[in-house]
Homo-oligomer: A and B are copies of this chain.
Amino acid sequence: MRHMNNSLLLIRFMIATKPSVLLKSYLQNRKQTEDLCSPLQVEDYAPQAVIFTSPPKWHLAHTTWFFEEMILKKYLKHYPIFHKDFGFLFNSYYETLGKRVPRNQRGIMSRPSVDMIYAYRKHVDSYMKELLDSAISESVEELIILGINHEQQHQELLLTDLKYTLSLNPTFPVYDTGFSLVNDQNTGSGWLKIPEGIYKIGHDSEGFSFDNESGKHKVYLHDFEISKALVTNEAYIEFIEDGGYETFNLWLDEGWTWVNNNDIRSPLYWHKIDGIWCSYTLAGLQKINPKAILSHISYFEAMAFAFWKGYRLATEFEWEVASVKIDWGKRWEWTNSAYLPYPQFKTASGAVGEYNGKFMINQMVLRGSSVATAAGHSRNTYRNFFHPHFQWQFTGIRLAR
């Protein structure tokens, strides 16, 4: 249920949440999703540019479907389903929950209309309000919190997918002039040293977490240093100008194939116009600010850059240990760790757990959070993950040695 992955996840709570607080949190979050859509024209809700993105309309409906399918249908007596077809139209799963629309055909579904989707949201919200006003069990409460976190993940994807789609329009449409990246600069500098030893990794305290980060456990780390700053545009331009994209021995073997098959010569969204590097942003086409933090690079590019610099990427464990002493949070930072289970990882049963761990292959872990991440959504144990060739998230590079 998460971006391309859509995994449903285990949750555990350490503190009780007051229903009224939960209702408020639910409604605020639902509103936030719709606020993100306020600059959109009806036509913007529909297109799906590539298989790994989804249309805004689909994000709006799918996050609502979660509450209907996982909660209202099961825990609210006499709940009247909004429309019999929505159960499979907005389901990202394969088979447990019935037939579905092929992932690559989400942009073709002109019906139901955008108005209908908003009516669907309103319908579900009113019954969710009814449910939240009643006495609910702790496990239902947990599911609702999971649903909120799930919707936050889709808020981020809504923005990154939208950026990808609009970027293909030769008129470079402006989504929101507030989305300029000009001031997006580092606050720290230099290297942080971390001594060798046993460290505890993973989430095991109060509050919500996803199952892939749970199960606090020990890892042994060797001495390392990690940069307090992320790589900037000007550092990366130096790499480009030094022939980085043409020097095969800087690249992983599959990275070199990717670079050449796709004729990659810069980060995603970059255009060299009359000798000046520009970038498509959600505020339209803008000149690259050399001092701003680099964004939209693949793991392959991150690795090639680090190798060119004579450094490396941190592992996700090094990152987590260092995270308490460095500024992070405007970019998803590629780590040199593959997305694999923690020692106590277990798959939940039923539809919620159906896909636990399902994506733990051929993906690399990213840590941090991005400008598109919902406030309060991430934390320093949070494990994001993407295939090594993807560039469309707000991804950056932090060096280690």
Contact = CB atoms under 8 A, between A and B. Distances in A.
Given A219-B220, A343-B222, A47 B110 contact: yes
Interface stretch (A184-192, A272-280, A353-361): A353-361
B249 A96 contact: yes
A343 B318 CA distance: 11
Contacts of A114: 42-43
Contacts of A393: none
A252 B358 contact: yes
Given A42-B43, A340-B336, A343-B222, A88 B170 contact: yes
Chain A interface bracket (under 10, 10 to 19, 20 to 34, 35 or more) = 35 or more
A94 interface: yes
A337 B253 CA distance: 19
Contacts of A42: 42-43, 113-114
Contacts of A168: 105, 108
Contacts of A49: 105, 108
A359 B43 contact: no
Chain copies in the assembled complex: 4
Given A254-B361, A338-B338, A362-B362, A110 B222 contact: no
Contacts of A105: 49, 168
A108 B165 contact: yes
A255 B198 CA distance: 35
Contacts of A249: 95-96, 354-355
Nearest to A174: B111
Contact of A355 (B101, B111, B253, B340): B253
A391 to B, nearest CB: 16
B109 A361 contact: no
Contacts of A309: none
A220 B168 CA distance: 48
Contacts of A99: 170
6 contacts: A41-B113, A42-B113, A49-B105, A89-B170, A254-B361, A336-B341
